[in-house]
C-alpha cells in the first residue's frame, strides 16, 4: 500500500511509512442516551442537559423530530415538547458507561484504550489472523454494536489519532487501504483536527483550511514557526511519532447499572431491564468460562436508603433465565420500599466452571444435577434460605442435641456417623418433651439411662422407656431426676 494521491503532488513523501498497525476508533455520539433508552419499554422524547441544566447537550431522534436540537435552551425544548424526559449529564456516570462498553468490546479485541468521555480505541491489525481477515473483524464489531443497541461512528486509521479524528468528524469507514485513509485525513477541515484554539486560528490566518495543507508544510519550518507541540500532533496523526496508549484491563468483577428517568414503582417494571442485564451477565460468564452463585442487586431510591438484595443460587449457575426466575420470586416476596431510580447488578464471586461430568448413556446425569440446583434455588428464593434444611446426626448423648439442621448448600457433604453404632431411637422427636398425662397400657424396654451435659450446664439425667399409650402410639418416655414423666418421641 502506498499513499499515492493523484492530484496532490508530494503526498508520498510527506506521509512516512511506518510499521503497519491498524486502529479502529468507536465514537459514541450519544452514549448516555443510548444507555438509558435501551432499558425503556416505551420510547419517549428525551434529552441530556449539561450540568447546570440550562442547555440541551444531546437529543434523541424522537426529540429531534419534534424540533429539539442540541445547544437549544432547556426552556425552549420544554415548550416544544411538554412531556420531555430530562437527564442530567454526569461525568462519572458517563465514564462508567464507557467502561461498560469496553467490557463487551474486550471479548473481541485484546488491546483497548479508553478515550473519555465517549470514545474507545482498539488495535485490530493483530486480530487479522484470528478472525481470518479484517472484514470479519469489522463485521464482528458491527454486530456487537447492533446487539448492544448503540450508535457509534467508527473509523479506522494507521495511528490512534488518525482513527480518532476521522471517527469524531464522522468521516470514517472500515478500510485498511492507507491511501484511502490518507485522502480522508487530508480533506479533514482544520477545525476537526483537534489543534488547540490558538494554533488553529494561527493556521487559518496563514490561509490553511484542511489538514492536508498543514501536513504538506516542511516539518522544521512548522516546528520553528508554530511550536514543537504542533509538529508532534501532526506526527502523531501521521503515525511517525510514537503515541503510546494505556491498555485497558477488564476488572475482575461484573457490574451493570440501569438508570431510569421515570421512577419505577412496581417490581414488574424492573424485570425488563434486568432481563437485558442478566443476558449480558450470562454472556460475560460464558466468556469467562465461569459460574457464579451470588448476585448483588442494589435498588437506589430517591429519598431513602438503597435496598440491597443478595441472591444466592443453590449451585454454580450462569443461565440468565435461572437468575431472572430467582429475582422474580424474590421481588414477589419482597415488595419495593420506594420507587426505584436506578438498578445495579454486580457479581464479585466467580466459580470456575466444573468440567462436565461424563454423561451416562441416556445423558441424564448432568441434567439432574442442574435440575436439583434449580429446584433448591427456587424454593430458597421464595421461602427464604432457612426454610430448607438438611439433618445430620451429632455426637452427643442427649437426644435433643444428637442431631442438627443446616441450610442446604451446594456440595455440602454431611458428616455421616457410622449408622451401625447408633442406638435405637424413635423416628419422631418432639420439639420439646411433653408431660406424660396418662398411664401407658404396656411397657417394653427400659430403663436406658442418659446422663450428660455437665460440661455445658445443660445437664440431663433421664431414664428412658419405650411404652405404648392407650391410643396405640408407641412412645419414647422418660423420667427425669425430679420424678417427672415426659414423652420425648414417637416410634413412627
Partner 1 sequence: MSELLNTLMQDARVWQGHRHRQTTQSSESTGYQVLDNQLGGIGWPKGALSECLLNVHGIGELHLVLPLMQRLTQAGKTVFWLNPPQTPYAPALAREGVDLDHVVMIHADDANDFLWTLENCLRSPVTGLVLAWPGKLATRDVRRLQLAAEAGSNVCVLFREQRYAGQNSPAALRLELTPDEHQALSINVLKRRGSWPGQRCTLAMAHRADLTCQEPPRVIQGPWTSGRG
Contact residues: partner 1, CB under 8 A = 367-368, 371-372, 374-376, 378-379, 382-383, 387-394, 399, 402-405, 408, 413-414, 416-417, 419-420, 422-431, 436, 439, 442-447, 465-466, 468, 471-475, 479, 483-485, 489-492
| Nearer of residues 8 and 485 to partner 1, judged by Cβ | 485
Interacting residues of 185 by C-beta distance below 8 A, sequence separation 6+? 157, 162, 165, 166, 211, 212, 215, 237
Q: Smallest distance from the beta carbon of 309 to partner 1, in angstroms?
A: 19
Smallest distance, partner 1 to C-beta of residue 82, A: 45
Q: Which residues contact 329 (CB under 8 A, 6 or more apart)?
A: 378, 381, 382
Residue 216 or residue 460: which is nearer to partner 1 going by CB?
460
Whether the ω angle into residue 447 lies within 30 degrees of 0, i.e. cis, is yes
**Start-to-end Cα distance in the chain:** 89
- Count CB atoms within 10 A of the CB of residue 281: 23
CB of 333 to partner 1, least distance (A): 9
Please, which residue, 403 or 454, has the CB nearer to partner 1?
Answer: 403
Smallest gap from Cβ 403 to partner 1, in A, equals 4
Of the pair 203, 314, the CB lying nearest partner 1 is at: 314
Instruction: Report the C-alpha gap between 354 and 140 in whole angstroms.
Output: 29
Q: Say which residues have a Cβ less than 8 Å from residue 56's Cβ, sequence separation at least 6.
A: 47, 48, 49, 68, 69, 70, 71, 72, 73, 74, 77
CB of 398 to partner 1, least distance (A): 12
Question: Residue 310 CB: number of other CB atoms within 10 A?
Answer: 10
Comparison of 236 and 479: residue with beta carbon closer to partner 1: 479
Provide, rounded to whole angstroms, the least separation between the CB of residue 488 and partner 1.
10
* Residue 121 CB, nearest approach to partner 1 (Å): 50
Least CB distance from residue 461 to partner 1, whole Å? Answer: 14
Rounded-to-integer distance, Cα 182 and Cα 15, Å: 8
Cis peptide before 352 (omega within 30 of 0): no
| Cβ proximity to partner 1, 21 vs 430, nearer residue | 430
Local structure of 241: helix, strand or coil: coil
Instruction: Kindly state the helix (H) or strand (E) to which residue 85 belongs, with its residue range.
Output: strand 85-88
In whole angstroms, give the CA distance from residue 17 to residue 12.
9
Residue placing its CB nearer to partner 1 in the complex, 52 or 439 = 439
Residue number, 19 or 357, with CB nearest to partner 1: 357
Amino acid at each position: 500500500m502506498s499513499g499515492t494521491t493523484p492530484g496532490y503532488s508530494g503526498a508520498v513523501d510527506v506521509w512516512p511509512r511506518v510499521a503497519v498497525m491498524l486502529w479502529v476508533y468507536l465514537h459514541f455520539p450519544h452514549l448516555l442516551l443510548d444507555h438509558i433508552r435501551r432499558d425503556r419499554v416505551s420510547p419517549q422524547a428525551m434529552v441530556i442537559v449539561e450540568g447546570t441544566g440550562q442547555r440541551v447537550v444531546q437529543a434523541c431522534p424522537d426529540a429531534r423530530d419534534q424540533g429539539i436540537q442540541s445547544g437549544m435552551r432547556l426552556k425552549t425544548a420544554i415548550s416544544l415538547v411538554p412531556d420531555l424526559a430530562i437527564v442530567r449529564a454526569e461525568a462519572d456516570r458517563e465514564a462508567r458507561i464507557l467502561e461498560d462498553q469496553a467490557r463487551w468490546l474486550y471479548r473481541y479485541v485484546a488491546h483497548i484504550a479508553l478515550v473519555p468521555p465517549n470514545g474507545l480505541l482498539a488495535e485490530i491489525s493483530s486480530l487479522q489472523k484470528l478472525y481470518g481477515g479484517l472484514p470479519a473483524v469489522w463485521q464482528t464489531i458491527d454486530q456487537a454494536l447492533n446487539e448492544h443497541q448503540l450508535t457509534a461512528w467508527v473509523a479506522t486509521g494507521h495511528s490512534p489519532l488518525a482513527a480518532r479524528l476521522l471517527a469524531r468528524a464522522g468521516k470514517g469507514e472500515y478500510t485498511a487501504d492507507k491511501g484511502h485513509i490518507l485522502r480522508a485525513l487530508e480533506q479533514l477541515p482544520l477545525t476537526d483536527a483537534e489543534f488547540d484554539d490558538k494554533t488553529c486560528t494561527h493556521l487559518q490566518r496563514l490561509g490553511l483550511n484542511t489538514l492536508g495543507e498543514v501536513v504538506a508544510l516542511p516539518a522544521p519550518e512548522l516546528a520553528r514557526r508554530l511550536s514543537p507541540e504542533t509538529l508532534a500532533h501532526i506526527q502523531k496523526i501521521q503515525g511517525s511519532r510514537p503515541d503510546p496508549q494505556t491498555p485497558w484491563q477488564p476488572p475482575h468483577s461484573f457490574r451493570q447499572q440501569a438508570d431510569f428517568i421515570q421512577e419505577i414503582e412496581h417490581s414488574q417494571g424492573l424485570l425488563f431491564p434486568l432481563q437485558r442485564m442478566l443476558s449480558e451477565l450470562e454472556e460475560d460468564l460464558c466468556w469467562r468460562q465461569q459460574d457464579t452463585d451470588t448476585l448483588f442487586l442494589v435498588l437506589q431510591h430517591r429519598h431513602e436508603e438503597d435496598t440491597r438484595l443478595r441472591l444466592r443460587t443453590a449451585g454454580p449457575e450462569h443461565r440468565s433465565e435461572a437468575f431472572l426466575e430467582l429475582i422474580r420470586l424474590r421481588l414477589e416476596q419482597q415488595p419495593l420500599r420506594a420507587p426505584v431510580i436506578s438498578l445495579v447488578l454486580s457479581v464479585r464471586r466467580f466459580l470456575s466452571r466444573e468440567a462436565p461430568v461424563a454423561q451416562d448413556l441416556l445423558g441424564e446425569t448432568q441434567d439432574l444435577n442442574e435440575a436439583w440446583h434449580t429446584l433448591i434455588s427456587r424454593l430458597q428464593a421464595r421461602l427464604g434460605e432457612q426454610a430448607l434444611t438438611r439433618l445430620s446426626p451429632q455426637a452427643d448423648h442427649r437426644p435433643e442435641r444428637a442431631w442438627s439442621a443446616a441450610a442446604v448448600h451446594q456440595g455440602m457433604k454431611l458428616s455421616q456417623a457410622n449408622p451401625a453404632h447408633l442406638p435405637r431411637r424413635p423416628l419422631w422427636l418432639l420439639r420439646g418433651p411433653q408431660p406424660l398425662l396418662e398411664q401407658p397400657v404396656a411397657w417394653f424396654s427400659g430403663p436406658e439411662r442418659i446422663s450428660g451435659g455437665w460440661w455445658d450446664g445443660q445437664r440431663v439425667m433421664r431414664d428412658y422407656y419405650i411404652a405404648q399409650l392407650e391410643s396405640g402410639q408407641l412412645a419414647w418416655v422418660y423420667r427425669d431426676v425430679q420424678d417427672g414423666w415426659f414423652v420425648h418421641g414417637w416410634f413412627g
